[in-house]
């Protein structure tokens, strides 16, 4: 009996689709690339549920006629190449003619397209590679592809998708990779009805700033080199802009985003002595070579590239970046006369300067029974805790002293406050102490996250945090997407002591901060906060206040806490004992281990 048989088309298509379309972001990439190849000057990306239910790309490109609209879903159907030789003079993004066939195999598609020179357009509806509808329709010039319910017939692939936040991140990244090299095209991006990104046609520098935020404005330096065999253009960021993550590294070859280990090394190595170990410089570099000297057909996603002579490109790129960094170091980086406290450069003539103001606690009484906490300037935890006391425990009005004959029963709060707890810091990470005759071991980092979370939640719901007004507000800037989120939580951030005021789409003035917050760190604090907030909102669908409190608490726990002195440890433990939920951190980590008598005895049996 013969055992070999041909796979049915539908199965073969689904298998092939796996190579091209791994996730919603892959479909976004293919559709936008097609729109670019169609000569569009305006591209709209509309996403629902991180691409799970809808990915729509609308372009004003040349459109397709009635027959082409049907043909485009066939495997190996392309208008871009005719012979294998054409592969070596590519000027288009697509050429394999398999993206639409792949998407059609695993989704429902609605295509509306019209060529400007024709009267009517075409509507096509497909489901799992089958054409369900193919009719003339009225529609605008250009093409609109709506991909609905991606992987609807391949549940196994659907299960491989990550959280919405992660998938949305991939989509954003694909859009960045395309928009950063096609600056003459206008892009807009909507997610669940909300405008996430609006990029007008511009030059590359402006595009980078529009994508990543105005803070790049003075930090980008041009890289340029033009030889007979290779042209290099683009921008590199100042060494001090280097980040731990690689996410601001963009290398393009002939207008195509590529990943190339060797060429990335050519750039990174020039920064070696200038940035801390593990940090990655930001760069946006385009390399242009004759199409015949590269092979882009190595992988179905076309993200890899092979050069005829990559050593030569390495040398040119390395030299070009070195040259720019060289000129940079000629500009003095450290100005010994510069005192940041006396920086008036940010003030424009005629600008109205806000006088510094103090927020007073009207309930404060100097006769309060609570001993006043000293604010040590060196220790932000002490400062932070004094902050808590100031805000949440409104001092009682002075009362005439009562004569007390018998001891009144105390509540737990008081017992905690008055307790003398002996503790020990172990391994720089755990506090060990006795409480209620039980041996407690507390993970400092997790406990700190718990304390901060409850503190922030309480602030959001009951007692706003005291704001220290800035005399000369700094400006902070974000990517358009991050700015959108900041805008969404402005009033909550204010309640938490961060008074931000939007200046333009991506920049905010920092008018006030909590007392324990160094103003120079605000950019980083809010940036990281937004990252975490995005995850909480999309991933866990937490309610707004807890998502905010959790994110800020997580952000604040990113740095190591120094609690070496006994009073610091005491205060810390008491804050933790006051928590409503003690034993688990808001991100689900175990905070404490409690050992009873018997358990300790058992250790010695």
Exactly one of 44, 56, 143, 535 binds ligand ADP (CB under 6 A); that residue is 143
Nearer to Mg ion, 98 or 527 (CB): 98
Contacts of 2 (CB under 8 A, 6+ apart): none
Q: How far apart are CA 311 and CA 322, in angstroms?
A: 16
> From residue 7 to residue 46, what is the string marking binding to ligand ADP with x (rule CB under 6 A)?
-----------------------x---xx--x--------
> 72: closest CA among 25, 18, 31?
31
Q: Please identify, among the stretches 6-14, 98-106, 176-184, 320-328, the one whose residues bind ligand ADP according to the rule CB under 6 A.
A: 98-106
Q: Please check whether residue 442 is in contact with residue 573, taking contact to mean a CB–CB distance below 8 angstroms.
A: yes
60 lines the binding site for ligand ADP (CB under 6 A): no
Q: Which does 97 bind (CB under 5 to 8 A by kind): Mg ion, ligand ADP, none?
A: ligand ADP
- List C-alpha distances in Å: 318 to 32, 106, 169, 353: 31, 43, 30, 46
Please state the length of the chain. 605
56 lines the binding site for ligand ADP (CB under 6 A): no
> 284: closest CA among 355, 228, 220, 336?
220
Q: Which does 143 bind (CB under 5 to 8 A by kind): Mg ion, ligand ADP, none?
A: ligand ADP
- List C-alpha distances in Å: 349 to 271, 344, 352, 353, 503: 38, 11, 9, 10, 17
Q: How far is the CB of 207 from ligand ADP (least distance, A)?
A: 22
Q: Please identify, among the stretches 1-9, 73-81, 217-225, 537-545, the one whose residues bind ligand ADP according to the rule CB under 6 A.
A: 73-81
Exactly one of 64, 107, 147, 285 binds ligand ADP (CB under 6 A); that residue is 64
> 452: closest CA among 521, 541, 381?
381
Torsion 551-553-556-557 (CA) sign: negative
109 lines the binding site for ligand ADP (CB under 6 A): no
Tokens of 307: 């050069």
Which residue lies nearest Mg ion, judged by its C-beta?
Answer: 94
Instruction: Count CB-CB contacts under 10 A for residue 194.
Output: 11
Q: How far apart are CA 111 and CA 222, in angstroms?
A: 41
Q: How far is the CB of 94 from Mg ion (least distance, A)?
A: 3
Applying the rule CB under 6 A, the residues between 208 and 267 that interact with ligand ADP are none
Which residue lies nearest ligand ADP, judged by its C-beta?
Answer: 94
Q: How far is the CB of 16 from Mg ion (least distance, A)?
A: 14
- Count Cβ atoms within 10 A of the Cβ of residue 141 and give its class: 0-12 exposed, 13-18 middle, 19 or more buried: middle
Nearer to ligand ADP, 112 or 260 (CB): 112
423-426 sheet: strands from edge to edge: 423-426, 430-435, 438-443, 592-595
Nearer to Mg ion, 99 or 482 (CB): 99
Nearer to ligand ADP, 71 or 166 (CB): 71
Nearer to Mg ion, 94 or 586 (CB): 94
Q: How far is the CB of 176 from Mg ion (least distance, A)?
A: 19
**Binding positions for ligand ADP, rule: CB under 6 A:** 30, 34-35, 38, 59, 61-64, 72, 77-80, 94-100, 143
């Amino acid at each position: 009996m013969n055992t070999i048989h041909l796979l049915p088309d539908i199965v073969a298509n689904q298998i092939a689709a796996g190579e091209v379309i791994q996730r919603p972001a892959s479909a976004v990439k293919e559709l936008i690339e097609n729109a670019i190849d169609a000569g569009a000057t305006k591209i709209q990306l509309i996403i629902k549920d991180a691409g799970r239910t809808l990915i729509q790309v609308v372009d004003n490109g040349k459109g397709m006629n009635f027959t082409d609209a049907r043909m485009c879903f066939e495997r190996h159907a392309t208008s871009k190449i005719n012979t294998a030789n054409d592969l070596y003079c590519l000027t288009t993004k697509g050429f394999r003619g398999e993206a639409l066939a792949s998407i059609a195999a695993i989704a429902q598609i609605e295509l509306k397209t019209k060529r400007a020179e024709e009267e009517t357009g075409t509507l096509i509806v497909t489901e799992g590679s089958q054409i369900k509808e193919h009719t003339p329709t009225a529609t605008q010039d250009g093409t609109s592809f709506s991909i609905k319910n991606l992987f609807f017939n391949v549940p196994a692939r659907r299960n491989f998708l990550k959280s919405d936040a992660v998938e949305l991140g991939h989509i954003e990244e694909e859009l960045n990779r395309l928009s950063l090299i096609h600056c003459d095209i206008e892009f807009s991006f909507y997610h669940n009805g909300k405008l996430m990104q609006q990029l007008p046609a511009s030059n590359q520098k402006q595009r980078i700033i529009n994508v990543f935020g105005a803070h790049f404005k003075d930090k980008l330096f041009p890289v340029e080199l033009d030889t007979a065999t290779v042209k290099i253009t683009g921008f590199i960021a100042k060494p001090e802009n280097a980040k731990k993550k690689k996410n601001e590294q963009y290398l393009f070859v002939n207008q195509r985003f590529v990943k190339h280990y060797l060429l990335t090394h050519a750039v990174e190595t020039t920064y070696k002595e200038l940035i801390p170990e593990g940090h990655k410089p930001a760069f946006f570099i385009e390399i242009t070579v004759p199409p015949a000297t590269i092979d882009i057909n190595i992988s179905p996603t076309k993200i890899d590239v092979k050069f005829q002579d990559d050593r030569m490109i390495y040398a040119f790129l390395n030299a070009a970046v070195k040259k720019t960094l060289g000129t940079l170091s000629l500009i003095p980086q450290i100005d010994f006369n510069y005192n940041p406290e006396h920086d008036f450069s940010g003030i424009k003539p005629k600008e109205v300067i806000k006088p510094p103001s103090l927020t007073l606690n009207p309930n404060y009484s100097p006769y309060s029974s609570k001993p006043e906490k000293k604010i040590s300037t060196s220790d932000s935890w002490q400062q932070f805790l004094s902050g808590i006391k100031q805000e949440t425990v409104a001092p009682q009005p002075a009362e005439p002293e009562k004569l007390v004959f018998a001891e009144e029963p105390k509540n737990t709060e008081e017992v905690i406050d008055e307790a003398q707890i002996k503790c020990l810091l172990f391994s720089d990470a755990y506090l060990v102490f006795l409480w209620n005759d039980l041996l407690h071991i507390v993970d400092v980092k997790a406990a700190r996250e718990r304390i901060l979370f409850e503190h922030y939640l309480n602030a959001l719901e009951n007692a706003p945090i005291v704001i220290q007004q800035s005399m000369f507000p700094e400006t902070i800037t974000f990517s358009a997407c991050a700015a959108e989120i900041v805008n969404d939580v402005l009033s909550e951030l204010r309640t938490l002591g961060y008074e931000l005021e939007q200046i333009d789409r991506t920049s905010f003035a920092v008018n006030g901060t909590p007392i324990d917050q160094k103003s120079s760190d605000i950019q980083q604090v809010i940036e990281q906060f937004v990252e975490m907030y995005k995850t909480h909102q999309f991933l866990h669908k937490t309610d707004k206040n807890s998502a905010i409190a959790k994110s800020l608490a997580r952000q604040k726990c990113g740095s190591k806490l120094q609690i070496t002195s006994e009073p610091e440890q005491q205060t810390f433990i008491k804050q933790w004992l006051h928590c409503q939920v003690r034993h688990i951190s808001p991100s689900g980590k175990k905070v404490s281990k409690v050992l009873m008598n018997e358990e300790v005895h058992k250790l010695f049996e």
